[in-house]
Amino acid sequence: MSMEDYDFLFKIVLIGNAGVGKTCLVRRFTQGLFPPGQGATIGVDFMIKTVEINGEKVKLQIWDTAGQERFRSITQSYYRSANALILTYDITCEESFRCLPEWLREIEQYASNKVITVLVGNKIDLAEKREVSKQRAEEFSEAQNMYYLETSAKESDNVEKLFLDLACRLISEARQNTLVNNVASPLPGEGKSISYLTCCNFN
């Protein structure tokens, strides 16, 4: 429970169609691995990586879909307390790009309105099979006010950058929010604090 371990803790959530490489991105970043097969993540809820940015320790808690995207059955609660969302598609798969609006709808519906969304086109190592041009993706992400990045989990291209840039943005957002929060009206967690030690029980 030691708050001393880090200066910031952020919850990052990955979404996107099955097979676009979400788990690979997470494992590449957190463990430096490129897993050849799937299924290695049974029992793992999220992965943790602590990074240092400008001398500050930032703990990233990165959540994967647990396969629920396979039949479009992601639970709403998955989105709830995310600070950032990484919306991933596969540049070699048109279908995964065409599904993005549906994913955005879910975000709009269930995620916090302060969430930062990054659009990621993965698998740029398979350039010869590309189906979605960079320009189209850029236009789309611009229209949706999202950051955009192309990555290769396999070649480790832009993976560090993706998470580190995100961490930077989250830090600056967090700073701004703490300023805003002083004036803002009720948010979850506000209200009088209850000391759990002072027991109001009858014994």
Partner 1 sequence: MADNLPSEFDVVVIGTGLPESIIASACSRSGQRVLHVDSRSYYGGNWASFSFSGLLSWIKENQEKTDVREDGEDWRKLILKTEEAISLNKQDNTIQHVEDVCYACQDLAEDVKEAGALPKLPAFEASDTREAAQESEKESLPVQSQSLGTENCEISPESVTCNDPESMTERKDAEMTSERENLCDAASDQSALETGKTENVSTAEAAALKPKKITYTQIVKEGRRFNIDLISKLLYSQGLLIDLLTKSNVSRYAEFKNVTRILAFQEGRVEQVPCSRADVFNSKQLTMVEKRMLMKFLTFCLDYEQHPEEYQDYKERKFSEYLKTQKLTSNLQHFILHSISMVSEADSGTIDGLKATKHFLQCLGRYGNTPFLFPLYGQGEIPQCFCRMCAVFGGIYCLRHSVQCLVVDKESGRCKALIDHFGQRISANYFVVEDSYLSEKTCTNVCYRQISRAVLITDQSVLKTDSDQQISILTVPPVERGQPAVRIIELCSSTMTCMRNTYLVHFTCSSTKTAKEDLEPVVQKLFSLNAETERESENGGGLEKPRVLWAVYFNMRDSSGIDRNSYDTLPSNVYVCSGPDCALGNDYAVKQAETLFQEMFPKEEFCPPPPNPEDIIYDGDGTQPEDPGFSSSSNAKTEPSPEESSDGDSCKVSEEHHEE
Contact set with partner 1 (CB under 8 A): 1-2, 5, 9, 17-18, 30-33, 35, 40, 42-50, 61, 66-68, 70-73, 75-78, 80-81, 94-95, 98-102, 104-105, 108-109, 113, 136, 139-140, 143-145, 184-194, 196, 199-203
- Tell the smallest beta-carbon distance from residue 55 to partner 1 (Å): 18
Query: Which DSSP symbol is given to 9?
Result: E
- Tell the smallest beta-carbon distance from residue 133 to partner 1 (Å): 10
| Amino acid residing at 202 | F
| Of residues 46 and 165, the one with the C-beta less far from partner 1 | 46
| Of residues 109 and 172, the one with the C-beta less far from partner 1 | 109
- Tell the smallest beta-carbon distance from residue 99 to partner 1 (Å): 5
| Of residues 172 and 200, the one with the C-beta less far from partner 1 | 200
| Of residues 117 and 151, the one with the C-beta less far from partner 1 | 117
- Tell the smallest beta-carbon distance from residue 25 to partner 1 (Å): 15
Residue 42, class by beta-carbon neighbours within 10 Å (0-12 exposed, 13-18 middle, 19+ buried)? exposed
- Tell the smallest beta-carbon distance from residue 105 to partner 1 (Å): 4
| Sign, Cα dihedral of 115, 71, 120, 99 | negative
| Of residues 5 and 56, the one with the C-beta less far from partner 1 | 5
Q: Which residues of 55-94 are buried (b: 16+ CB within 10 A; e: fewer)?
A: eeebbbbbbbbbeebeeeebeeebbeebbbbbbbbbbbbe
Q: Are 48 and 62 in contact (CB under 8 A)?
A: yes
Query: Which DSSP symbol is given to 189?
Result: T
- Tell the smallest beta-carbon distance from residue 56 to partner 1 (Å): 17
| Of residues 55 and 143, the one with the C-beta less far from partner 1 | 143
Work out the number of other CB atoms within 10 angstroms of the CB of residue 22: 25
| Sign, Cα dihedral of 83, 99, 21, 64 | positive
